Homo-oligomer: A and B are copies of this chain.
Amino acid sequence: MPMDDVVSQMRKFMEPKSVAIMGLSRTPFTIGKTALDILAELRACGYQGKIYPVHPQATELQGIKTYASVADAPADIDLAIINLPRELVPGIVKECIDKGIEAIAILTQGFTDANDEKGDQLQKQIDDIIRGSKARILGPNSIGTANAYANISLGFLKTQMEEVPVSWITQSGLFFLGPLGLKPFGKGIDLGNACDIHFADALEYFEQDDETKVIALHIEGMRDTKKFLRTVARVAHKKPVVAFKTGRSEQASHAVLSHTGSLTGRDELWDVAFRQAGVIRVNDIEELIDTVRAFYILPLMKGKRVGIVSWSGGANIMAIDACQSSGLEIAKVSQSTIDRLRTLYPSWQDVRNPADIWPAVMIAKKASLFEVEKIVLETLLDDAGVDAVLCMLGAFISGLEVEFTKIVTQAAESHPGKPFVFHPYAGGFYSEFKDELEKTNKTMVFSSPQRALRALKHLSDYAKLSAYPDT
């Protein structure tokens, strides 16, 4: 199918102008005071399109006029959302197609993910119904799509989204809920069982989408691996694609069959395939989030050479270990860097990278802590042999983060092409540090040197893919 067609089909899922909802309850499921309900969520996220709730008995739900069937609703329906018991789904899909609806999202579980024959039969009925029609199906067993730019979220759970150029293609609604530390969620599509709409379709949409700069994938398994790999290899050379492939073991494969009915494939093959396609593979949810954020916030890292500065010699040694394990290198700094640092240090101290500046801080008679930090940070960033800088310091006093934010802002303005990141090794005021420094959108704060350097390594690897715009 021509890519333009796929993109226009995907638009109906990602930017629908009108939605029909089938499967609303007159008494929504609630946890505490929160209703887990598609209509409530759609309105809460500020959706401006038309909403046509369908309910055989009701005349209105949550103050909105309902229709007895989708046939009775107005004709201009971009997208139908189905969250009915599984036995009813094929019949409703048929009604939607008869109505001329071309985008259908099925949230219901119990199809190829079920442990019985009935699930497979129902899926086959759906396949038969859509064959030959223009309709495309998202799911079943999907939580829908979300798009902060279009104020739309189709699931029954609160999506943690904001207008950032980071787009997610997943096989679990989990990511829509905002895992710890996941701030950038701009657009998302949950493929669920992926009976029709696949990774390749979603990738083509985000490839063309100007509001998407980074693409994150959560993959459990798939059937058409070839088409996926062909597509992702093309897209990954235009925009960074970060992939979290789960379901690695034999045991996990069984669980994946029960979850999304997908085939996991041999894990070593995925490793090779991702590498060949230029996809950045990550191994756990923390690395996924760190990496996606790094691509969103930081510039790429042009080489592998890291400059390190810390108040703690002990932290520097941890960072050297982390450099080695992540595959980065400790930069050999220039003579001019050494000469500049020497003016700050006590005479007995070795001047090297990593820079241990606490002795310099302790003897600084005129210079303050912040002046020493600023000079050392700028000196390392100025060095042509340094591709990125990691700063580690103690967040043990409230207010430090304010001074550091000034230093960060200045350094970023004078060194826009080099990433620099922070690890505050004392936790007393870690959150204040993180919040304040990251507000600048110039740096990232990590909870360990390992995590910081792992993220930088991905920026360095991706910089080698030449097609990526150099910013």
B-contacting residues of A (Cβ < 8 Å)?
29, 31-32, 34, 86, 109-110, 113-116, 118-119, 157-158, 160, 170-174, 177-182, 218, 220, 246-249, 251-252, 255-256, 258-260, 284-286, 312-318, 320-322, 324-325, 330, 346-350, 352, 354, 356, 359, 362, 369, 394, 396-400, 424-428, 430, 447-451
Contacts and interface: CB of A to CB of B under 8 A. Distances in A.
Contacts of A426: 160, 174, 177-179
A348 B86 contact: yes
10 shortest A-B CB distances, which residue pairs?
A172-B314, A259-B313, A115-B350, A177-B426, A180-B427, A114-B348, A252-B320, A249-B324, A284-B450, A110-B348
A202 B362 CA distance: 28
A173 B322 contact: no
B249 A321 contact: yes
A255 B321 CA distance: 11
Contacts of A362: 29, 109
Contacts of A86: 348
B116 A347 contact: yes
A172 B350 CA distance: 18
B34 A259 contact: no
A317 B400 contact: no
22 contacts: A34-B397, A109-B346, A110-B348, A114-B348, A115-B348, A157-B396, A160-B428, A170-B314, A174-B312, A177-B396, A178-B426, A179-B427, A180-B424, A180-B427, A181-B427, A182-B427, A246-B314, A247-B321, A252-B320, A252-B321, A255-B354, A259-B313
A320 B255 contact: yes
A34 to B, nearest CB: 5
Contact of A247 (B252, B317, B398): B317
Contacts of A313: 113, 172, 255, 258-260
A217 to B, nearest CB: 13
Given A157-B394, A177-B428, 19 more contacts: A110-B348, A119-B348, A160-B426, A160-B428, A172-B315, A174-B312, A174-B425, A177-B427, A178-B427, A247-B317, A249-B320, A252-B324, A255-B316, A255-B317, A255-B320, A255-B352, A259-B316, A259-B356, A285-B425
Given A285-B448, A359-B109, A447-B180, A397 B428 contact: no
Contacts of A180: 424-425, 427, 430, 447
